[in-house]
Structure 1
């Protein structure tokens, strides 16, 4: 067992499944939920937690996307195609969320020892390899040039990206977040982000270098593994994996005494997003 897998083998995991319940809600609520869990887990008020979440038709913009010279024209284009646009509070660039994309957050505490940024990524990579044994070491982590939200921990099979990882750190808690393109077409999602940059840039030179999207380098797990797989199948796999990793898995969303903290972070996230979108 690797050092990173040992961070996953713990006495108790908490599992919060919002793969169905969050769909029609704003993805901002998910960022607030992860901030809340960072606080709770970081301050040892909760066991380490895995949270699954799905949101309908949303493009999550990064801070740099919001600085596109023609963002005020790009956002209406997204809305016309049926997507909401929000700005997130962690690093990275634009990603697509829809009913075929499963997001997983692994929330750990640094209370008993530091977990550096590379270790956070490696923990998620180890978790995903365990989750899809039929792919195993075919799952590689390196930047896929031409993908949206490119990064050194893009996850791919045979050079085609199906997932990207980001991290959020707060109050000694770390949320390592991944979006998994499970179902549907990876290329179609990439075309949407290509259009966002085409309209947002309109050929202008910018200090920041935005990715030149090549839709063919993105794919879903259904396409890559050539097997029927649904978001719900993956959620069940996660539950089974957590039972392998821990002596006990505690299910359940926020308790009444945790809701006050969630409300605090929710207000903070909504206020920040409102300011960002108002500054267009």
Structure 2
């Protein structure tokens, strides 16, 4: 189904592996097209409760965009390419099901932007992050100027983007860019453990958490008003009835997303 991805479903978790290790899993237009289809699969397949995005091999999550595709682009074509990335990455960020980035090496340029589009990030000890586009006469084009600033603050984000420097996994953890730093062999198991825990929670509530948290960063949305609306909407769900009953009866709830 995919030319540049390998996928596997286990315990209702879709693992998406960007599979171009000979190119350090660089994002080209085919990878973007395949990612768009994979994201559609997450949205459309009811059996998928969450997803992990990672990279093939031990060296790279995604080491950047495929620069060879940039050489002949006009200004308008460059803008259109960035727009494709924006659409796909926004779909990831807005997905009502949790999507975790398992960063297993270099996450540079478009790779860092892809990781940041996920709901949160886990990193292996050998991971490195950066937005080195200025070294090519470019700026981040897949949402990186916005998401990096939101995640680590304006000062640190501007320093990284203007120097093109990389930071280690430990630095990324201390700056709030990643949630956990793990040994490479622990990376995917930890991501799956977190997603399995999330699966035990009310899926409609999870979707509303994502929606409201995203609104906190959307200048066009009053996040507090949205929270009021979404909180109230929970009271019309069977999941709330089940959760309340389970709490009173001191048992584990059985949520059905209704």
Structure scoring higher RCO (CA < 8 A, sep ≥ 6) equals 1
Q: Could you state the TM-score of these two structures normalised by the residue count of structure 2?
A: 0.36
Higher strand share: 1
Q: Could you state the TM-score of these two structures normalised by the residue count of structure 1?
A: 0.34
Higher helix share: 2
